[in-house]
Structure formats: C-alpha cells, structure tokens
C-alpha cells in the first residue's frame, strides 16, 4: 500500500517542486488549501504532512499545533521564520527559499524516521567542536561551556541547522526577530559579533561564521 503525503499549500510551491517526483516514487498525494486542511486533515491517514506555512508567524504556529493534534504524522513546514515553529514537537522547519534537493532529502529522512518508531528528536546540534544544547540553551566549545541569551540561542540554532547555506539578512531577521525591517541591521551585527566571540578562536578572522558581503552569513560545519 502506497504511503500518503498530505500537502497543504496556497501557492503551489510544494507541488511544483516535488509533486511529480513523489508520484514517480510511488507515493499517493493529497493537496489541500489551508482552510480546507483545518476541516479535513483529521480524516487523512497521512505518513507525512508538507506545509507551506502561512506568512504570519502566529498563524503558522497555530496551524502546526492543530496538525500535531489532528495527526501523528511528522510535519515539514516551509516558512520564512523558524522561531515560533521549532519548539513544536514533530515539526521540522525549512527556511524559504527551499530547493528541490533540500526538500526531497527532508521528506525521505522524515519517512525513514517514521518507519523507526521511538526515535526521539535530537536534543543537541553538533558542528565541529561546537555542541548546542537545544533544551538548556547552552553552548559547549570543547570543554568550555557558555550560556546564551535567548536571541543568541535562536540565531546560532538557525546557523547550525543550515550548515553551508547562505542565510540572508532578511531570513535571519525574520527567523530570530520576526521582522522584515532591514533598514537597521545593527542588532543582527551585534549578536553575530557576540556569537563569534564564543565560537571562534580569532573572532576577527572567523572560520565558522563567515560573512557573505552584502548578502548575509554562511555557517561552516567544518572550519
């Protein structure tokens, strides 16, 4: 029996990226709009839910919490901000724009985890000699441990969950501060500087957290 994947979207983003590939791989696909999904998602016995999250962070979080109550299937949410969604158990967050290979990789990994019940969501992120504790919001570099401010934690979590990917100023401001205001980026610059002083041997010559001039930053998992 083919596994069903429930796609919830408003603009055809997910179907356009992945629909034909999933059908070729033998999956059954159901596509619902957001309003329809809130009424009908409990009827679907989906193995996975792919959600194009609403633009409002509060609405996106509300939708994800509803889906966690409506189905036991894991949820992959495509969104501009992960800050409100990542604490929700069973929800994986991908930052837009998402490319085909990244989304397909996340789908296949989620379905593999689905076939292995009892596997818990990781409690730490590791890159090189850095370990970010997702429960206690602390950072360990080798044997040294640092406490992080709430925004430092959110910012470093975004970086460590997206190693090697260029994250724009807009994506970072939306994910951590939930704002599209880009006229003043001093808050972002200051927090990046604080993080560099914790993770880099030479903060003025960063190896982990690289500046992409005029665009944003790229986090290297193996400096």
> In this predicted model, what pLDDT tens digit does every residue of 81-136 receive, in sequence order?
887 787 787 889 898 888 888 888 889 888 887 655 444 556 889 998 999 998 88
Q: For the chain, give the percent of residues with pLDDT over 70.
A: 95
What is the per-residue pLDDT across 21-43, written as a single tens digit (0 to 9) for each? Answer: 888 888 888 898 888 877 777 77
Single out the residue of 82, 105, 57 nearest to residue 157, CA to CA. Answer: 82
Q: Given this model, what pLDDT does residue 121 score?
A: 59
Domain ranges of the chain: 4-114, 124-219
Q: Examine domains 4-114 and 124-219 and report if their fold is the same.
A: no
Mean of pLDDT values over 8-17: 86
Query: For residues 78 and 98, is the Cβ–Cβ distance under 8 A?
Result: yes
Query: For residues 199 and 141, is the Cβ–Cβ distance under 8 A?
Result: yes
Please tell me the total number of residues recorded for the chain in this structure: 223
Query: Is 4-114 a CATH 3.40.50.2300 domain?
Result: yes
Coil, strand or helix: which one is 80? coil
Rounded Cα–Cα distance for residues 73 and 5 (Å): 9
The residue with greater pLDDT, 41 or 80, is 80
Kindly report whether the global pTM for this prediction surpasses the value 0.75.
no
Confidence band for 202, pLDDT divided at 50, 70 and 90: very high
Please name the fold of domain 124-219: Arc Repressor Mutant, subunit A (1.10.10)
Per-residue pLDDT at 56 exceeds 80: yes
């Amino acid at each position: 029996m083919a596994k069903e994947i429930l796609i919830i979207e408003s603009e055809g983003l997910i179907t356009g990226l992945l629909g034909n590939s999933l059908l070729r791989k033998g999956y059954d696909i159901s596509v619902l709009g957001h309003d329809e999904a809130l009424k009908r998602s409990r009827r679907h016995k989906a193995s996975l839910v792919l959600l194009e999250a609403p633009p409002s962070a509060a609405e996106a979080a509300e939708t994800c919490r509803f889906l966690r109550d409506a189905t036991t299937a894991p949820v992959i949410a495509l969104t501009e901000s992960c800050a409100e969604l990542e604490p929700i158990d069973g929800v994986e967050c991908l930052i837009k724009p998402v490319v085909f290979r990244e989304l397909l990789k996340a789908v296949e990994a989620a379905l593999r985890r689905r076939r292995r019940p009892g596997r818990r969501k990781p409690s730490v992120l590791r890159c090189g000699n850095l370990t970010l504790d997702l429960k206690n919001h602390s950072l360990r570099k080798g044997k040294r441990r640092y406490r992080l401010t709430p925004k430092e934690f959110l910012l470093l979590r975004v970086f460590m969950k997206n190693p090697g990917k260029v994250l724009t100023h807009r994506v970072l401001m939306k994910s951590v501060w939930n704002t599209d205001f880009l006229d003043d980026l001093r808050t972002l610059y200051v927090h990046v500087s604080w993080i560099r002083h914790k993770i880099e041997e030479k903060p003025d010559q960063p190896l982990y957290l690289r500046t992409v001039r005029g665009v944003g930053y790229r986090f290297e998992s193996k400096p």
